[in-house]
Amino acid sequence: MKKLRKAVFPVGGLGTRFLPATKAMPKEMLTVVDKPLIQYAVDEAREAGIEQMIFVTGRGKSAIEDHFDISYELETTMTDRGKSLDAISGTRFRPGEVIYVRQQEPIGLGHAIWCARHIVGDEPFAIFLPDELMAGSPGCMKQMVDAYEKVGGNIVCGYEVPESETHKYGVITPGRIDGRLVEVKALVEKPPQGTAPSNLMIPGRYILQPEVMRILEGQARGAGNEIQLTDAMSQMIGSQPFHAYAFDGRRFDCGDKAGFITANIALALDRPDIGPEVRRWMDANQ
């Protein structure tokens, strides 16, 4: 079994759900407490042993590249003033740790992933959708990698949501259950309300075999007239092992305003520096 070394981060999306905030700023730079969403995903990838991050980006996204670059002015000024650089210590990529590819037209998640095919090559790879914030210890991808090292093949994260929400996501038809691993019998992207095969959705974390790139090459458009990753993955079921991993942790859909605000409150309450103050305000304003 080949070690999982690479991860693809599709960050080319327009973020229309967060306008006007995302008119001139990438949605991946929205902050939860004091860290942009994209950095939560990168931290999760590093913890899982990912060595090469592939960002599939687009126009107007250069703030992401700057965020992970060296900022000489900032570092020099802070050092001159005797300030600690701890707050930005995780933001700098090592040379070669990141590669940027452009997705020139936003025609679906499947297409975004396919844009990274030459860099992924013939290796298994992870995918992180950064607007899903997965809070756990160990992190979501680390938990998935531990499972992958036992069963191999393809693993998507699985997370239970109320039935009223399944139409917004990729949804799993579950088979045999073995601890946190669930056999995947079928997948469907954004099933119309009332037709979902279960309430187990895919919250934006995947470990896939490179064959999916070949399938994406000829993938027809699906839900929303977009090239869907879910449709390509479903074609691998039966010819390769395919599991869902029931993540042990909290998930926040930060592509959604309520989910984003909830993530900010939950993670702020966890923080020893600001949690007590936020809690006091909440108690006083119930």
User: How far apart, in whole angstroms, are the C-alpha atoms of residue 28 and residue 248?
Assistant: 24
Which region, judged by CB under 6 A, interacts with ligand G1P, from 20-28, 140-148, 174-182, 201-209? 201-209
- CB closer to ligand G1P, 48 vs 129: 129
- CB closer to ligand G1P, 145 vs 229: 229
The full length of the chain comes to 286
User: How far apart, in whole angstroms, are the C-alpha atoms of residue 213 and residue 110?
Assistant: 9
- Under rule CB under 6 A, how many of the chain's residues touch ligand G1P? 14
Contacting ligand G1P within 163-182 (CB under 6 A): 169-170
Binding mask 11-50 for ligand G1P (x = CB under 6 A): ----------------------------------------
**Sheet strands (E) in the chain:** 6-10, 31-32, 35-36, 52-57, 98-102, 125-128, 132-135, 154-160, 170-178, 181-189, 200-201, 205-208, 242-246, 250-253
Q: Is residue 58 involved in binding ligand G1P (CB under 6 A)?
A: no
CB of 170 to ligand G1P, least distance (A): 2
CB burial readout 265-277, b (16+ within 10 A) else e: eebbeeeeeeeee
CB of 249 to ligand G1P, least distance (A): 16
Contacting ligand G1P within 114-143 (CB under 6 A): 129, 132
- Can you read off the two tokens belonging to residue 62? 């250069």
- Residue selected from 39, 203, 234, 244 as contacting ligand G1P according to rule CB under 6 A: 203
Which region, judged by CB under 6 A, interacts with ligand G1P, from 43-51, 88-96, 99-107, 226-234? 226-234
Binding mask 247-276 for ligand G1P (x = CB under 6 A): --------x---------------------
**Sheet strands (E) in 16-169:** 31-32, 35-36, 52-57, 98-102, 125-128, 132-135, 154-160
Q: Which residue has the tokens 């304003």?
A: 285
Residue 227's nearest CA partner among 10, 55, 18 is: 10
| Closest residue to ligand G1P in the complex (CB) | 170
Q: Is residue 109 involved in binding ligand G1P (CB under 6 A)?
A: yes
- Residue selected from 57, 141, 148, 189 as contacting ligand G1P according to rule CB under 6 A: 189
Q: Is the distance from CB of 184 to CB of 239 less than 8 angstroms?
A: no
